[in-house]
Structure 1
Amino acid sequence: MRRIIKGLLWIVFSLIPIALLASVLGYVWLARSVAPATGDMVLADLSAPVTITRDKNAVPHISGNSVDDVLMALGFVHAQERLWQMEVNRMAGQGRLSELFGDKTIFTDRFIRSIGLYESAESSVAALNDADRKKIDSYVRGINAFIDSAAPVFGSKYSPEFVILGHSPEKWTAADVIVTLKLMSVSLAANIDDEVLRLKFARLGMNDAEIADLQPPVAGDTPPPLPDLRQALGLSSGTIKTGALEAERQFASLNEIMSTGASNNWVIGGTRTETGKPILANDPHLGLSAPAIWYLAHLQVKNADGSSKNLVGVTLPGAPLVLLGRNDRVAWGFTNTGSDVQDIFVERINPANPNEYQTPEGFQPFEKKSVAIRVKGGDTVNFERLVTRHGPVLPADYRGLDHYLPEGAVASLSWTALAGDDTTISAGLKLWDFASVLDYQNGMREFVTPMQSIVIADVDGNIGMIAPGRVPMRDPANQIMGRAPSPGWDATYDWKGFIPYEELPRVYNPADSVLATANTKIVDSSYPHFLTFDWDEPWRFERIKTLVYGANQQTMGTNRKVQGDAYDNAYAALLPVMLKLVEGRGDVDQGIITQLSGWDFVEDRARIEPLLFNAWLRMAMKRILEDDLGDAFPSFWQGHVDAMLRWLGPTPARNWCDDGRTPEKESCGDILALALGDAVKDLDTRMGSDRSKWNWGALHYAYGAHRPFSQVSPLDRLFNVTVPASGGAFSLDRGKSSFTDESNPYRVTHGTSYRGLFDLASLDRSTYIQTTGQSGNVFSSNYRDFAQKWADTEAITIPTDEKAYEEGLLGVWRLKPKN
């Protein structure tokens, strides 16, 4: 017994302190991976010294004697602060995530490898001119200089993710930069899913009018009737093959890089501002992440005569560009145009030879390539990549396609983002030198993808808009017009070239001195070319018109309030309709009805009404559509206000409200009453029965999810960045949730990723904010320090005058050439 006691005492007094000491030392070792604010380093390829001054907000002010040197330093800084984020994005673009994360990402890799995204990036590098290639190579050298640098004394060189997963980064190449940019096209591409949805609806037996009820055009658009897709494509009828939903869920991880984009931007001319100079506002809406997708920076090239040229704004780690921001004379902001630049083609396989598919000239062989996906902790997955004259063949089970397509057919994809001559980065590298709105409009010719609606202002008082990008032209006889998969064997549906650059949408100094875009229709009926029939619902644009178009004497302050506006005019249109349909019923909670009846439609995070209504809307959609759509319902389950107004209106194309699974004939009032009960029950489960503690922000919080540790408890609590948020799916302060997310269908997974507000009377007064913080290292104090400022619609300035950012600076790095 004494020996046992002695042994236990030895464990207590020896092993436990050793374990605690090891934990402390491990923490210190990882914590030292945070990039120091001050340092010196020799970079062999620099032509002259460069300084990197981090201001009090950890924004780097990078100053050198040439653009190449400054971009090399930017590559070094990006690697210091965000190398893990860059590594995940690069491997996503290469279709190699499974080497990092194992079998959970096999289907994502299979999709990316099937479409050949990285191959198109490699081809695009070869299409660049020598000067632009030199700039990209300089940036890459900066990244690789950090990768080659020595680790700190007793500390990790790389952030904790590399250590925990036992991964070391490879050297970067120019193709890695291009594929990082191409991933933006992947994340902003919505048309492919719209096409798949219409295919599903057609396969379920719906006609053109019923499909239009589910995916209605915006007001003013008059698309031709959709042909009978069952006949055009040879679709089967009757019961859908089992397993469609399970097949679709296999691609869930792909949603992390294919979350569709939305945004707001507007520009106001000097006749409407207090200063007499333009004000420009921009807030792109993207999938939220930790760290934020954007990294703020100031780049400066000093000239021999003492002058300088500057770029300020948000950069994308992995690319040598200030994508959104300003130079010394011009400011700009993007929204996603949403043009239809993807077409799915149904390709008939030769029944006598599965290696061939039907074309207008007869059967032709598929191009084939063997692909191997290496999987961490698992067996290599091998498959054969097929390519047709239209483009790559999609995985058979992508979005459950093989359950809806006719037998003996595959789906191929035409997409401008897969172009092997994508020179978009060259357009971005010109941003240093634009001196006017006209310079900008004339300088975007090399912009290929993704098409953006760009508002612009210059210090001389001009404002404008251009939507650059490569947009396919379609045959007038093509009645599908990109809305659904098309017959691949019929040349009528092939693309007929692209809209000439000179004929892309543009506006210069409009008469009313204001311009705005918000992903909805940007052209009127006089525009001669087809862009898309799948514009976003116009609710945000209409709200901008209300707040901005009619106002004069505007200031930076008034426009910041507009950016933070949480009023939801979509719900202002829908809620009264829903309340009218349950009016006077005894089977609804009258307390909730009273609360919603008095709501002013502001989705404030401290209030209960937006929580109640979003819960009701969510359950109403489920009650109305689940019986009609079956396995296709989850991919459609989100707020569709325009569509829902049709379903609840007097003349829907079918009785959507009646539940076909019951013998009763339900009215819309019946269904809405049941849905309200479902919503209350769901909220009781999530928040408890004490409604005094219910509020929007408790469940509607910005969910900056870390990859991959958002999926690993308890690491998710450390690596995720969350903050209660106002706004909703249709407000200007946008925060979109995923109704299919049963763990929390109200948390914000997609929203305002950055806010920029530019004062052309004094560009140094411009303000910026992104969602988390500058550092991508969880041990840094700058990992999440922007989150509350962002939620409160606050912002920081990034002046170009050195004296203006000296106070409180964190430190200075000095990069020097090798002798």
Structure 2
Amino acid sequence: MLTLFRWLLRLTIGLIVLLVLSAVLVWYFAVRSLPDYGATYRVEGITAPVEIVRSTENVPHIFGRTDPDVFFALGLAHAQDRLFQMTVLRRAAQGRLAEIHGPRALPVDDLARRLGLHRAAQASLEVQDAPTRAALQAYADGVNQWIGIVNAGAMGRGAPEFFLFPDVITFWQPADSLAILKLLAAASTDAATEEILRARLALAWPQDGMRILDRADVPDDLPDYATLFPGARLGTPDRRRDMQAAHDPLGFLRPGQALGGNAFGAEPQRTAAGASLLANDLHVGLTVPSLFYLARLELASGGVIGATVPGMPLVLSGRNPSLSWALTPLDLDVADIAIEEVQPGNPDRYRGPQGWTAFQTRTEVIRVLDAPSQTITLRDTQNGPVVPGLDPGLRDVVPIGHVPALRWTGLSRQDGTMSALMGLMRAQDSAQATRALRGVVAPALDVTLADAEAVTRLSAGAAPQRAPDHPTAGALPAPGWLPQTAWTGATALAGEAQRPEAGLALATEDASDGLRRDRLSYLLGDREVHSRDSFIAAQLDIVSPAARALLPLVGANLWFTGDPAAPGTPERQRQDALTLLAEWDGAMNEHLPEPLIYTAWMDALQDRLVRDELGPMADDLLHLQPRFIDAVFRNRGGASAWCDIVQSAATEDCATIARQSLDRAILDLSARYGSDVASWRWGDAHQAKHRHPGLGALPALGWIMNITQSISGEEFTVARSGMTGSGPQPFQAATGAGFRSVIDLADPDSSVFITSTGQSGHPLSRHYDDLAGLWRRGEYVGMSLDPDLARAAATGITTLTPVD
């Protein structure tokens, strides 16, 4: 027995030592990939020494003799801090995520291959102007130089994630940067996915289904969808949406995600300091690291500072010494679904305007980690690529014997958007910026420009031109063989920049719904004179215009009715909840119970209004439709009929449905958070989970790599935080402001910026999440174009010297 005990003790000690040694070894190799920001490197590809001066927040300030040298250093700095993120973005654009993530990435890869994002990027490289091609090449050289330094110095493969993925880091190419821009363009519009949802609603309830998506810019006289395909048979509608897709960190830039943003400015006559103000926040999926990376470049045209995206040599939003600019996606229908009829008995041909036409086909192989490779056949029509995987509900609206094709401005192979945005970055005034932006194709952008004397706005991008007799005006999928459904062209939008009325300019991507825009307009118009602090307050505003509009309407017949109920009863809970809501100002504050009660109530109400007509498809309405609920409770056009439950014998009115929905919401919340209504907190349900795109879905590593924090706001607040709308945590924040800036042109060096996580993508770096707490609390960091200030506050200076 004693011998057995000794051997067990020895084995236990050995296992402990082995675990400790393994942990030390993992830590050692992971730490080796942390870059030394004070090092000097001899590199090929630059003409003179370059300095990368790092601030306290790890923001690189790059000083070089020539612009290509500066872009080279930006590529190297991006690769130092975000190499894994860059490779994920490149793989997403190329359709090669399954090589490292396995079968779960196949749908994303399949769609990227069918769209041909990388092929379109390669074709567009030739149409960029000479300075842009030089910048793209220099940037790629800088990325590749860092990869070479990592390999030569055995520096942990550049990021610890590469030890967990079977990734071979291929050298960066100029077209890779263009492909990432194409990926952002695809994620910036939900025009096609809205078409599909609208058609599904029309099929589910032909009389009124489309009224749920009550958008002001959609014609009221759309045809019955089924009549567009006389004689064709549609499949049985089914809920096919993957409810986990919204939680998959690989889908954060999936086409149709609809990136968003706010931009607003004030001219000198409306500011306290007598010079223009400009604010911008860009809404993206919450990932770690953030999509954005702060940087300052010293170019021949002057210093440029603001938000970059790793993988591109471009300051998307920021300022130079004489001009500042803010971008938001333009609310423009830039995509259509064309339904193509396949020739019976010949799957290689489809019906075109001139008769049966052969598909353009090719095959590609998608390599899949730990699974057989998949060979896919890609087909193109005159209207665009065939995209059966664009949306899970697409199969419901495609008749049997037909396939869907996508028309989208971003498929252009003559896309000079990168050159246009590079020109914007170098522009010295709004006139130069306007001329540069005429080359934008996709994404379509609403651009706000500000100099010390004025603020201007313009739209940029390619706008599809549809025939006047188009049967659906682009609001529904349409037969691809009809000549009137083909685009007659695409018009460049960039005209002359317009001065705003009353000295105030604002842009949001929800122009058709308008609630957030109306709230922002009120905040700007409520003050005669603005300052940097008032712009910050507006940018961080968490009052829900939807709550203020809907609660008095929905609860009109419920407030303070009946005698007080006994404590602890469901009736008393309802009374307590209504009392709280009656005194609430609509602020979606994470520390309050009212936002949680309101959100759960409206969620239950919308579901109760539509489920009896739509059935399981109601699960696909992931977001609140305030205009629809407003129409129902105001009985616009007889919309109150939605309140009656068709399957029940009784005739329910809207007050009854409102009360029943509130009771349902309170019951669900009590099961989660206890019976004391006043103790509930919005932040317990509304948490921002910044997910790592590679490891975020893994149970153990995800807990380490992801950043989770409760936040205020919701979908319709100016400080937007869109929710998942599905799964066990439907109120979890899935999107938010990945970047915020407020630029004060009276004192440009007092301008402030922030991203949602940190500058580094390395989990062992102190800059992995050091900005996340500031972002949550609504704080910012300063960034100056003064080189002396940058050097005085430097925490490290990387010096690049050319090889003799």
Which amino acid in structure 1 is aligned with residue 455 of structure 2? I
**Mapped pair 1:571 → 2:547:** yes
- Equivalent residue runs for 1:55-94 within 5 Å: 55-94=55-94
Shift in alpha-carbon separation, 1:12–1:155, aligned structure 2, 3 A? farther
For residue 243 of structure 1, report the CA deviation from its aligned partner. 5.1
Match of 1:734 in 2: 720
Distance, in Å, in 2 between the alignment partners of 1:601 and 1:246 is 32
Correspondence 1:245 to 2:240:
yes
- Identify if the C-alpha distance between structure 1 residues 150 and 564 changes in structure 2 by more than 3 Å, giving closer, same or farther: closer
Tell whether the 8 Å contact from 2:593 to 2:681 is kept in structure 1 after alignment.
yes
Shift of 1:581: 4.2
What residue is the counterpart of 2:467 in the other structure? 475
The alpha-carbon distance between structure 1 residues 404 and 222, as it changes in their structure 2 partners (threshold 3 A), is closer
Measured after TM superposition, the shift of residue 47 of structure 1 is 0.9
Query: 1-side partners of 2:416 and 2:468: how far apart?
Result: 29
Deviation of the 1:319 alpha carbon? 0.2
Aligned position for 1:747: 732
Alignment correspondent of 1:445? 438
Structure 2 residue 529 is the aligned partner of structure 1 residue 553: yes
Q: For 1:678, what is the secondary structure of its paired residue?
A: helix
Identity rate of aligned residues, in percent? Answer: 29
| Cα deviation 1:166-201 (Å, max 9, x = unaligned) | 323211111211111111112111101110012112
Q: How does 1:791-802 map to 2 (within 5 A)?
A: 791-802=776-787
**Is the counterpart of residue 230 in structure 1 residue 226 in structure 2?**
yes
Aligned length: 791
**Contact 1:298/1:313 (<8 A) preserved:** yes
Distance 1:201 1:242 in 2: 10
Contact 1:705/1:720 (<8 A) preserved:
yes
CA contact (8 A) 2:204 2:237 kept: no
Q: Deviations over 1:654-689 (max 9, x none)?
A: 722223344443322232222222222322333334
- Cα separation, 1, equivalents of 2:247 and 2:280: 30
How far apart are the structure 2 equivalents of 1:700 and 1:440?
A: 40
- The answer to whether the aligner puts 1:333 opposite 2:329 as a matched pair is no
Contact 1:108–1:251 (CA under 8 A) maintained in structure 2: no
- Counterpart position of 1:526: none
1: distance between equivalents of 2:501 and 2:613? 48
SS at match of 1:181: helix
Report whether the alignment pairs 1:351 with 2:351: no
1:769 aligns with 754
Residue 814, structure 1, aligned to residue 769, structure 2: no
Mapped contact 1:28–1:155 kept (Cα < 8 A)? no
Cα distance in 1 for partners of 2:672, 2:151 equals 46
Question: SS of the residue aligned with 2:326?
Answer: strand
Note the alpha carbon deviations across 1:44-79, whole angstroms, 9 max, x for none: 110111000101111000110111000000000101
Structure 2 CA distance for partners of 1:359 and 1:250, relative to 1, 3 Å: farther
Q: In structure 2, what residue type is equivalent to 1:444?
A: L
What is the one-letter code of the residue matched to 2:742?
L
Task: Specify the code of the residue in structure 2 equivalent to 1:643.
Answer: F
CA distance in 2, matches of 1:323, 1:396: 30
SS at match of 2:52: strand
Separation (CA, whole Å) in 2 of partners of 1:810 and 1:428 = 31
Matches within 5 A, 1:526-675: 535=512, 537-583=513-559, 584=561, 588=571, 589-651=574-636, 652-653=638-639, 655-675=641-661
Deviations 1:66-103 (A, max 9, x none): 11000000000101101111111111111111111111
Deviates more, 1:606-615 or 1:672-681: 672-681
Tell me the equivalent position of 2:128: 128
SS in 2 for 1:114: helix
Q: Distance in 2 between matches of 1:112 and 1:510?
A: 39
- Quickly say closer, same or farther: Cα 1:354–1:768, change in 2 above 3 A: same
Matching residue's letter, 1:421: Q
* AA matched with 1:512: A
Matches within 5 A, 1:86-485: 86-150=86-150, 156-207=156-207, 210-218=208-216, 221=217, 223=219, 225-234=221-230, 241=236, 244-245=239-240, 255-258=251-254, 259-301=257-299, 309-395=302-388, 398-459=391-452, 461-485=453-477
Give CA deviations for 1:558-582 in whole Å, capped at 9, x if unaligned: 1111111111122101011111244
Would the alpha carbon gap of residues 214 and 235 (structure 1) be closer, same or farther in structure 2, given more than 3 Å must change? farther
Q: Which moved more, 1:758-767 or 1:429-438?
A: 429-438
State how far apart, in whole Å, the 2-side matches of 1:361 and 1:641 are. 44
What secondary structure sits across from 1:96 in the alignment?
A: coil
Mapped partners of 1:737, 1:330: distance in 2: 35
Structure 1 residue 514: Cα displacement = 1.2
Local SS of the residue matching 1:814: strand
Mapped contact 2:302–2:320 kept (Cα < 8 A): yes
Distance 2:674 2:134 in 1: 60
Structure 1 counterpart of 2:27: 27
Q: How do residues 459-538 of structure 1 correspond to structure 2 at under 5 angstroms?
A: 459=452, 461-501=453-493, 504=495, 507-521=497-511, 535=512, 537-538=513-514
The amino acid that maps onto 2:55 is D
- Displacement of 1:385 in angstroms is 0.8
**Alpha-carbon distance, 1:711 to partner:** 1.1
Give per-residue Cα distances to partners, 1:390-443, cap 9 Å, x unaligned.
Answer: 000112684232233211111100101111111111012223431112221122
Q: Counterpart of 1:680?
A: 666
- Secondary structure at the residue paired with 1:751? strand
Query: CA separation in 2, counterparts of 1:615 and 1:248?
Result: 18
Q: Take 1:681 and 1:197, find their aligned partners in 2: how far apart are those partners?
A: 30
1:701 Cα offset (Å): 2.0
Bigger Cα displacement from structure 2, 63-72 vs 712-721: 712-721
Q: Distance in 2 between matches of 1:170 and 1:353?
A: 41
Determine helix, strand or coil for the equivalent of 1:633.
helix
CA contact (8 A) 1:227 1:479 kept: yes
SS at match of 1:234: coil
Secondary structure of residue in 2 paired with 1:75: helix
State how far apart, in whole Å, the 2-side matches of 1:508 and 1:800 are: 28
SS of the aligned residue for 1:185 comes to helix
Indicate how the Cα distance of structure 1 residues 252 and 702 shifts in structure 2: closer, same or farther if over 3 A, else same: closer
Give the match's secondary structure for 1:779. coil
Distance apart, 1:213 and its partner CA: 2.0
Deviation at 1:206, TM superposition (A): 1.4
Q: Deviations over 1:301-333 (max 9, x none)?
A: 3x6xxxx71010000000000000001100010
**One-letter amino acid of the counterpart of residue 62, structure 1:** I
- The one-letter code of the counterpart of 1:65 is R
Alpha-carbon distance change, 445 to 224 in structure 1, aligned in 2, over 3 angstroms: same
Q: Deviations over 1:218-253 (max 9, x none)?
A: 3xx573511222111338679x52754268978985
1:713-767 deviations in whole A, cap 9, x for unaligned? Answer: 1212211112221111111111111211x23111211111111111111221111
Structure 2 spans left out of the alignment, 5+ residues: none
Aligned partner of 1:704: which letter?
H
Name the SS of the counterpart of 2:460 in structure 1.
coil
SS at match of 2:506: strand
The residue aligned with 1:529 is none
Report if the CA contact (8 A) 1:248-1:397 is conserved: no
Q: TM-score, normalised by structure 2?
A: 0.94
Cα RMSD (Å) of the superposition? 2.2
* SS class of match (1:339): coil
Provide the C-alpha distance between the structure 1 equivalents of 2:715 and 2:458, rounded to a whole number of angstroms: 26
Contact 1:56/1:810 (<8 A) preserved: yes
- Distance in 1 (CA, whole Å) between partners of 2:340 and 2:517 is 39
Q: Is the 8 Å Cα contact of residues 267 and 280 (structure 1) preserved in structure 2?
A: yes
Aligned partners of 2:538, 2:163: CA distance in 1, in Å?
Answer: 43
State the secondary structure of the residue aligned to 1:744: coil
What is the rounded CA distance, in whole Å, between the counterparts of 1:739 and 1:203 in structure 2? Answer: 23
Cα gap change, 1:371 to 1:235, in 2 (>3 Å): farther
